[in-house]
């Protein structure tokens, strides 16, 4: 059907109605399943959008949004000189925040490689006065400090001449109306090979940009199997806002909890059976944006992390470092506060799975072994009625001070008699001790 009806196929793909061909028949080896289990327990990661766009301080889409042609945009790298970049400071910040991994842009839509690419000279070592491979520096520091490192890689490219036919974006780059799509894909695979062979064991590859040409043949099978061949434990994920394609190891959601669509672009993002991750930013921008000062409060961030956990998803929280290599104090301070909160409450987050009670307006539940953590985010009435958990409840206590929470039983509900004096504006956590453990479901099995 694919060959006979390309237009029909394209329409079906666009409508999200036909499965996209990728790495068919992929069976993750044990080390990959282990990495998935690790990922699912990690729960909190740092997203970093950093590139030559940060020089302008108007976000990572500035080239497209302001219709900057390549010839003009190429004047940015000579101005990018992050002499204050200190990978130890970044990694220390992430660790203090309680984050277990970092996902950083190796190449964003602008096509500029933030590492020493041999496939192209459009990279940080060849084009900037800084001349250093910041990804290598960061990879070394992460390894030293025990954080996993993922590379974001944009399949969409506003700079490469062979990214043709063009998709929904990048029309003002000034490239000729011709190009060899296959040659672009070769280039992309060559860059990925560099990333998977030159930076030690990676957590995985975080793809983005597929959505620019949803009807194109991206040769995903070849790309995904290349990654899995080079590093079988590396997790492949893609921000395509669809149910995962064959060959992917985790599923991501952008600015929405799994199953929700407040953004308008997650209407086809059906939840699959892989470990889940949700990404968002501390303000509203990914790349450094000087005028965006709408920083989320500590309460908002804790609620995002806790709710994501209730949906059984990780939170990947973004900062956009400045062109000098530092991270603005508003981000650093907020992350330190989240770390303090996790220091006390991490037991209910790390290694805890979503549920057994599905997310509610007042909060969410997570569980681990024979404990259910009831996260009361929006303090309700004195009595909170819960659907009966799947195992008998022996007792309940506040996680903060261990004091008992009196329980009641209705015909079909468990009643928590809450003490307003114990209310914590961030998250009041009640621990239910069950008579038996809830068996953890293996990653990749339906919940
Ligand atoms: C994408 C990127 O474009 C963005 O710069 C950032 O890296 C983010 C994490 O991912 O954001 C998107 C991608 C696709 C759509 C919207 C935002 N879309 O299809 O509407």
Residue 165 inside a domain? The answer is yes
Smallest CA separation from ligand 1 atom 15, residue:
265
Same domain, 196 and 82: yes
**Averaged pLDDT, 355-368:** 95
Q: Of 351, 367, 387, at which residue does a domain stop?
A: 351
* CATH at 96: 3.20.20.80
- Give yes or no for residue 2 having a pLDDT over 50: no
For residue 446, what pLDDT is reported? 41
152 alpha carbon – ligand 1 mean position (Å): 12
For residue 390, what pLDDT is reported? 86
Strand partners, 47: 103, 318
Q: Of 328, 351, 374, at which residue does a domain stop?
A: 351
396 alpha carbon – ligand 1 mean position (Å): 42
3-state SS assignment for residue 428: strand
Residue 263 inside a domain? The answer is yes
For residue 266, what pLDDT is reported? 86
Residue 73 inside a domain? The answer is yes
Same domain, 212 and 134: yes
Residue 214 inside a domain? The answer is yes
* CATH at 390: 2.60.40.1180
Strand partners, 101: 45, 148
State the pairing for strand pair 276-281/313-319: parallel
Same domain, 319 and 421: no
Q: Which of 104, 252, 254 to mutate to test the pocket of ligand 1 (most atoms within 8 A of CB)?
A: 254
- Give yes or no for residue 1 having a pLDDT over 70: no
Same domain, 334 and 361: no
266 alpha carbon – ligand 1 mean position (Å): 11
Q: What secondary structure does DSSP assign to 206-228, as a single string?
A: EEE-GGGSTTS---HHHHHHHHH
> Ligand 1 pocket, 277 CB below 6 A?
no
Smallest CA separation from ligand 1 atom 18, residue:
265
**Averaged pLDDT, 70-96:** 98
> Ligand 1 pocket, 284 CB below 6 A?
no
For residue 17, what pLDDT is reported? 61
- Better pLDDT: 349 or 265: 349
**Averaged pLDDT, 39-67:** 98
For residue 264, what pLDDT is reported? 86
Contact (Cβ atoms closer than 8 angstroms) between residue 320 and residue 49: yes
387: enclosing H helix or E strand: strand 383-387
pLDDT band for position 7 (cuts 50, 70, 90): low
Same domain, 388 and 269: no
For residue 445, what pLDDT is reported? 45
Dihedral of alpha carbons 304, 309, 313, 315, sign: positive
Same domain, 426 and 381: yes
Same domain, 386 and 305: no
Q: Of 351, 378, 404, at which residue does a domain stop?
A: 351
Residue 130 inside a domain? The answer is yes
Same domain, 341 and 358: no
> Ligand 1 pocket, 116 CB below 6 A?
no
- Give yes or no for residue 441 having a pLDDT over 60: yes
Residue 168 inside a domain? The answer is yes
383 alpha carbon – ligand 1 mean position (Å): 42
CA 6, CA 1: separation in Å to the nearest integer?
A: 8
Residue 132 inside a domain? The answer is yes
3-state SS assignment for residue 236: strand
Report the domain count for the chain: 2
Residue 426 structural domain: 354-434
CA 401, CA 398: separation in Å to the nearest integer?
A: 6
Strand partners, 254: 279
Tell me which of 40-54, 201-215, 254-268 is least confident: 254-268
For residue 15, what pLDDT is reported? 60
The 10s digit of each residue's pLDDT in 148-180 is: 999 999 999 999 999 999 999 999 999 999 999
> Ligand 1 pocket, 150 CB below 6 A?
no
CA 82, CA 133: separation in Å to the nearest integer?
A: 11
For residue 10, what pLDDT is reported? 64
Q: Which of 211, 238, 242, 264 to mutate to test the pocket of ligand 1 (most atoms within 8 A of CB)?
A: 211
Same domain, 378 and 419: yes
CB half-sphere exposure, 20, CA atoms < 13 A: 28
Dig out the tokens for 46 from the structure. Answer: 């740092």
Average pLDDT, the chain: 94
Residue 225 inside a domain? The answer is yes
330 alpha carbon – ligand 1 mean position (Å): 23
> Ligand 1 pocket, 239 CB below 6 A?
yes
Same domain, 310 and 408: no
Same domain, 197 and 183: yes
Same domain, 416 and 334: no
- Give yes or no for residue 443 having a pLDDT over 50: no
Other beta carbons within 10 angstroms of residue 303's beta carbon come to 19
The 10s digit of each residue's pLDDT in 90-112 is: 999 999 999 999 999 999 999 99
Q: What percent of the chain has pLDDT over 90?
A: 89
**Averaged pLDDT, 128-141:** 98
């Amino acid at each position: 059907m694919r060959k006979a009806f390309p237009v029909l196929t394209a329409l079906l793909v666009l409508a999200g109605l036909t499965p996209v061909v990728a790495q068919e028949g992929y069976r993750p080896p044990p080390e990959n399943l282990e990495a998935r289990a690790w990922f699912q327990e990690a729960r909190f990661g740092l997203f970093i959008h950093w590139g030559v766009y940060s020089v302008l301080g108007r976000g990572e889409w500035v080239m497209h949004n302001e219709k900057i042609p390549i010839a003009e945009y190429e004047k940015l790298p000579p101005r990018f000189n992050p002499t204050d970049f200190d990978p130890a400071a970044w990694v220390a910040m992430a660790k203090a925040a309680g984050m277990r991994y970092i996902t950083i842009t190796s190449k964003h839509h602008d096509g500029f490689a933030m590492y020493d690419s041999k496939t192209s000279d459009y990279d940080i070592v060849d084009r900037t006065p800084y001349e250093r491979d910041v990804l290598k520096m960061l990879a070394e520091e992460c390894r030293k400090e025990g954080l996993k490192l993922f590379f974001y890689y944009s399949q969409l490219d506003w700079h490469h001449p062979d990214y043709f036919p063009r998709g929904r974006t990048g029309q003002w780059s000034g490239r000729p109306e011709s190009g060899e799509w296959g040659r672009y894909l070769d280039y992309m695979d060559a860059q990925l090979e560099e990333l998977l062979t030159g930076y030690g064991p990676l957590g995985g590859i975080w793809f983005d940009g597929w959505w620019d040409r949803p009807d194109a043949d991206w040769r995903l099978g070849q790309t995904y199997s290349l990654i899995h061949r080079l590093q079988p434990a590396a997790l492949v994920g893609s921000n395509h806002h669809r149910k995962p394609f064959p060959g992917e190891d985790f599923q991501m959601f952008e600015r929405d909890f799994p199953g929700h669509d407040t953004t308008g672009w997650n209407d086809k993002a059906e939840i699959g059976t892989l470990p889940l991750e949700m990404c968002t930013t501390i303000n509203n921008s990914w790349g450094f944006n000087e005028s965006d000062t709408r920083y989320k409060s500590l309460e908002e961030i804790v609620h995002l992390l806790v709710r994501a956990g209730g949906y059984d998803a990780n939170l990947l929280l973004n900062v956009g470092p400045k062109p000098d290599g530092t991270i603005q104090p508003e981000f650093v301070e907020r992350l330190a506060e989240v770390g303090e909160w996790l220091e006390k409450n991490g037991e209910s987050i790390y290694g805890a799975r979503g549920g057994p009670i599905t997310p509610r307006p007042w909060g969410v539940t997570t569980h681990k072994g024979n404990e259910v953590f009831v996260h009361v985010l929006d303090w309700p009435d004195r009595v909170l009625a819960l659907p009966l958990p799947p195992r008998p409840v022996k007792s309940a206590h506040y996680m903060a001070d261990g004091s008992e929470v009196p329980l009641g039983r209705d015909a079909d509900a468990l009643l928590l008699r809450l003490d307003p004096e114990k209310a914590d504006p961030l998250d009041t956590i009640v621990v239910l001790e069950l008579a038996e453990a809830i068996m953890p479901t293996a990653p990749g099995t339906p919940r």
